[in-house]
Amino acid sequence: MAEILDGLKVSKEIKAEIKTEVEKILEGKRRAPHLVAILVGNNGASKAYVNSKVKDCEEVGFRSTLLKFPSTVSESELLEKIDDLNKSKSVDGFIVQLPLPDQIDQEKIIKAIDPRKDVDGFHPENFGKMALEMDTFLPATPFGILTLLERYNIETKGKDCVIIGRSKIVGRPMSILMGRKDFPGNSTVTLTHSYTKDIEEYTKKADIVITALGDPHFLKGSMIKDGSVIVDVGITRVEDDSPKGYYLAGDVDFDSCSAKASWITPVPGGVGPMTRAMLMKNTLIAYKTSVYND
Ligand code: GUN
């Protein structure tokens, strides 16, 4: 029976550590770190994510600002706002919640963000630095997974790690990070995706499986090796009869996989809260390295 990689517990520890640092900052009569979030349109999941980011800021003592735009906003309007935020001396970091409406070129928006304020770690300069093992902002979900593996001291060196899904914000960066010369890292990484002929062929041999697919209960116990480490990034809203109208499902079939794995992340309470905590961590890093704070 697998032990739980308790992301909720570790995320609370990290937020408490950040809060302590903020208290010291305030005692020194400096301003609090400030995160700005841009939300475009009415996507329910995006609204929920952004609201929780604002709540996290309150919890750790950061200042936060939520900027809402209608789904009809023009690209130039958004670019203007980004330019303002890049120049603002009171903003340490900001994020543009994705996805964006079709009329907006997501790549153009991400490239417009000053890499020093790109606390999502999505800017090509930061992604490149990550790949080159230079200091930079790591995207929050991969950063959260690394931190969870680190705090539970999960051995990754020399292990076979299979990642399912090659998204730019999770699977692809994760594949780079697990292969880097560091801890966690030094794994032999296989990045599988929609054109992989037989995913099971890989997952069955893997010591570590990281799923970021968005396909509820995709990974079954029959597809994994005894003693493997299973990290579930999936978080899909599945409609049900509950008052909320949905429940949150991971990519992993928890019951059958936890019977075989040595460690496993639950959904909810695994990777999700870690992602949220790491955005706070990145914002604190942005604050501390800010050219305006010396
Ligand atoms: N959409 C889904 N995940 C993320 C994230 O981590 N950051 C942003 N900006 N948008 C997202």
- Domains 29-114 and 140-272 are alike in CATH topology: yes
Q: Is 260 assigned a catalytic role?
A: no
Mean pLDDT by 10 residues, the chain (294 residues): 97 98 96 98 94 98 98 98 97 97 97 98 98 98 98 98 98 98 98 98 98 97 98 95 95 98 98 98 96 59
Those residues whose C-beta lies under 8 Å from the C-beta of residue 67, and which sit 6 or more positions away, are: 36, 37, 38, 39, 81
Counting beta carbons within 10 angstroms of the beta carbon of residue 153, is it exposed (0 to 12), middle (13 to 18) or buried (19 or more)? exposed
Q: Ligand 1 pocket test: which of 95, 138, 271 has the largest number of ligand atoms within 8 Å of its C-beta?
A: 95
pLDDT at 28: 95
pLDDT at 290: 87
For ligand 1, atom 11: residue with the closest CA: 98
Q: Say if residue 237 carries a ligand binding annotation.
A: no
Give me the architecture of the 140-272 domain, per CATH. 3-Layer(aba) Sandwich (3.40)
Q: Is 95 in the pocket of ligand 1 (CB under 6 A)?
A: yes
pLDDT at 38: 98
Q: Is 106 assigned a catalytic role?
A: no
Distance 59 CA to ligand 1 centre (A): 20
pLDDT at 210: 98
* DSSP for 195-247, written as a single string: T-S-HHHHHTT-SEEEE----TT-B-GGGS-TT-EEEE---EEEE-SSTTSEE
Determine which one of 81, 97, 117, 159 is catalytic: 97
This prediction has a pTM of 0.97
pLDDT at 211: 98
Q: Which fold has domain 29-114?
A: Rossmann fold (3.40.50)
Q: Is 97 assigned a catalytic role?
A: yes
Domain ranges of the chain: 29-114, 140-272
Distance 201 CA to ligand 1 centre (A): 31
